[in-house]
């Protein structure tokens, strides 16, 4: 799901950053193995204090559009199943559980796929409603009618989750554009 960006070696080192010191030689490693592998110290931007080494960071995955769709769809389906089993098809419980999924969706999407998140969230909401749809007689038509009724009665949660996702995505997009403009102004040649 995660795609790491790599640069071809033909471009050489970047000019906007100082060159990193080379790693120390692998001391104590014989042909048979053994010895510890040297660890490159984390690079810290200028003006920021280094984080304490003992503090573990929260996971910060960056999902592609497809990965985001799979994550959001599967999580809402599981939440729908759990809500059906534990709370008897309560749309309110499902709606409350849907909001954190919307926040995680907006936070974990890659910068290049930001506009996918507000589109994925309503589709995932509908996927999660499938187990909650009243079956009535058990036929396909009854289940479809239950889905339409569920979407109509739970529209507030759907709109609220989509709004939360859109606001977070918009904030991230504005921060990204400001950073790009700041970098462009800093790199612009001065007369």
List all residues 6 or more positions away from 178 whose beta carbon is below 8 Å from its beta carbon: none
Q: What's the whole-model pTM score? A: 0.65
59-73 pLDDT per residue, tens? 678 889 899 999 999
71-81 pLDDT per residue, tens? 999 999 999 99
Nearest alpha-carbon partner for 104 in 134, 53, 64, 60:
60
Give the CA distances from residue 180 to residues 59, 111, 170, in Å, rounded to whole numbers and listed in that order: 25, 12, 15
């Amino acid at each position: 799901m995660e795609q790491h960006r790599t640069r071809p070696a033909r471009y050489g080192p970047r000019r906007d950053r100082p060159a990193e010191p080379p790693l120390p030689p692998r001391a104590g490693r014989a042909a048979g193995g053994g010895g510890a592998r040297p660890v490159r110290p984390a690079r810290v931007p200028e003006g920021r204090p280094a984080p304490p080494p003992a503090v573990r960071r929260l996971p910060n995955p960056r999902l592609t559009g497809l990965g985001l769709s799979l994550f959001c769809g599967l999580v809402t389906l599981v939440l729908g199943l759990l809500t059906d089993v534990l709370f008897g098809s309560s749309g309110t419980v499902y709606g409350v559980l849907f909001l954190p999924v919307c926040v995680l969706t907006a936070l974990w999407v890659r910068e290049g796929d930001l506009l996918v998140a507000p589109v994925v969230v309503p589709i995932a909401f509908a996927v999660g409603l499938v187990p909650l749809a009243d079956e009535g007689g058990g036929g396909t038509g009854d289940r479809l009618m239950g889905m339409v009724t569920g979407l109509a009665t739970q529209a507030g949660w759907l709109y609220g989750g989509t709004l939360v996702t859109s606001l977070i995505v918009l904030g991230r997009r504005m921060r990204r554009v400001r950073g790009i403009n700041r970098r462009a102004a800093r790199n612009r040649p001065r007369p």
